Amino acid sequence: MNKAHRPPACLAYKVRQLWRLFATGMAFCIFGIGAVLLALTLFPLLMVVLQNRAKRRNAAQFVICRGFRLFCFILDITGVASVQIEGREKLLAAKGKLIIANHPTLLDVVIILAQMDRCQCVVKHQLFRNPFMAGVVRAAGFIRNDDNPEKLVADAARHLREGDCVMIFPEGTRTASGEKLGPLQRGVANIAITAPADLIPVIVHCNHDTLKKGTPWYRIPPSKIRYNVRVGSTISATGGIDSSDVRARRARALTAVIKHYFCDRLRHDHA
């Protein structure tokens, strides 16, 4: 570090670092408080104004996407994190598609939904009991990942057939530190085949190892977090797979296609 020989730069670095630590903490607070405020104000209001459950759910999903967009803007202007996205128009135009992404960090879902107007999600069941997030995930009618597996697949498939996009991480959880891609669950393939619905892959790359599984929020990286998010071309749920085959084998074949797709694109990634 030749910067150590230049005290002014060093001081500037320390000030910046301290600011980013403060801003990161603030961001976590804003996220939690924002979620609770929505759950206490706007979402109950939706209950009164919109009698139709589907409309209410859609409105809540729209608010969430815009909220995430605002949050990403705050992260950017405070110097915590910035997002560069390629192929966003594919997400905006998507209808009835499964949105799948690798899951390196805590913010992946926030960043991806921020690019969209509305999206259904499969979320981890703990969020339904999380005091900050429960109101939000319930209002949006998000799908619990601990549901009866048959029901989970059927519900997600129904939303897809109705034209909603459904966001899901095939790894089921964040990628372990030091790995490019965790083992893939076959739920995604089962949903895609059942609907049937094609998949839009999103490749998330983050320049820092921060916000990974098991890293506390205050361990901030030495520079601004930079996300590079690439939206890929549609993967067919049925392409090249014998449709007369049994479900278990088709799900395995499609999962292999998905795995190959992500491994191929993450291989040259040096995070």
Is 251 one of the binding residues for other proteins (CB under 8 A)? yes
What tokens does 106 get? 């805590």
Per-residue binder mask for other proteins (CB under 8 A), 78-107, x = binder: ------------------------------
Q: Can you tell me which of 66, 144, 180, 252 binds other proteins, judged by CB under 8 A?
A: 252
For the bound state, the minimum distance from the C-beta of residue 235 to other proteins, rounded and expressed in Å, comes to 20
When the beta carbons of 27 and 195 are compared against other proteins, the nearer one is: 195
The number of residues that bind other proteins (CB under 8 A) is 13
Read off φ and ψ for residue 52, nearest 5 degrees.
Answer: -75, 125
Site membership for other proteins, residue 39 (CB under 8 A): no
Q: Are strands 199-206 and 166-168 parallel, antiparallel or unpaired?
A: unpaired
Helix-, strand-, coil-residue percentages of the chain, each rounded to 5: 50, 15, 35
Of 152 and 220, CB closest to other proteins: 152
Contacts to other proteins from residues 113-152, by CB under 8 A: 149-150
Tokens of residue 135, six digits: 């109101």
Residue 190 binds other proteins (CB under 8 A): yes
Place of tokens 């790894």: 171
Contact 86, 229 (CB under 8 A): yes
Closer to other proteins by Cβ: residue 42 or 253? 253
SS3 category, 184: coil
Tokens of 45: 């209001």
Which residue from 220, 200, 234 is spatially nearest to 99, judged by alpha carbons?
A: 200
Which one, 20 or 186, has the nearer CB to other proteins?
186
Instruction: Find out whether 210 and 269 touch, Cβ atoms under 8 Å.
Output: no
- Binding residue (CB under 8 A) for other proteins from 67, 182, 187, 232: 187
Residues lying near other proteins in the complex (CB under 8 A) are found at 149-150, 153, 185-187, 190, 246-249, 251-252
